[in-house]
Structure 1
Amino acid sequence: MAKGLSFLHSQNIIHRDLKPENLLLAQNLELKIADFGTSRYFKESELLKSSLGTITYIAPEIVLDKGYDKSVDIWSLGCIFHEMFCLTPYPLFYGNSTQEVIEQILQFKDYKNLQEKSVKGKIGEIISLCLKKKPQDRIPLEKLIEQLEKLNIEYISK
């Protein structure tokens, strides 16, 4: 997933609507990113403004209608990883209304402080690095891939 996103970003494409429903598993068990309806080409120095994406996976800067860059996709990855590793049928941010979800996103401080809701251990640390409130504090994709590969090697060697 992270490698696919890295390829998109290397082609100057922001997905802007990463969510479990937009991830497909091919017969060869290769994960494919789908639904590029809200994707957009970007320039490195450009900040986008349009509010797009599925509310439960969008980054705070989109909710606040601030300019944003490709790091919004890293936020979405963190939300997806949380669902995957918590084995929960619910997104990290969900509620009875759009406004309730927006409030949760805006009040969010740190993944590690969620106590019972957060994934522990190394994968929890990785999720926390994806879900930094300030875009510039989020883990760069190259480092994320490196961390995930290291985690995979440690898991396989046990």
Structure 2
Amino acid sequence: METQKQTTMVVFSGDLDKAMASFIIATGAAAMGSKVTMFFTFWGLNILRKEQFVPVQKSLLEKMFERMMPRGPGKLGISKLNMGGMGSALMRHIMKKKKVASLPELMELARELDVEMIACTMSMDVLGIKEEELIDGLKFAGVATYLGEAEQSKVNLFI
């Protein structure tokens, strides 16, 4: 009996270019028949944040983190040459002009291809991110769940 191919990745970065790479690889692997699991931790959780404000009870420190971190894929900067947001705006403009799928479009495609997206509950707790603040359709789990998937995977990436 042949088992299904599996691809896993840790999405640690909240940079637009790295988020794009993560979802391009994930959707490519899923389109090629691989079961794909993406484990979002620390700054990678910002990719999954809803862009609109969600009122939830938070401590002062959690509120500070909330204000300092980008809210969703439309607010992410790029890892190099961001220049106060000009770099990411330029990148989005060029991608649109070249008809490259946007990060929200890639995220929707990932859902359609049944890519499993797991939000790290430990990182959520550290950063004060609540489930209600993240997009729908996620699984919430810790590192043991990710490692269980990674053990079965032939491809395991850290982005």
TM-score (norm 2): 0.26
Whose relative contact order is higher, 1 or 2, with alpha carbons under 8 Å and at least 6 apart? 2
Higher strand share: 2
* The structure with more radius of gyration: 2
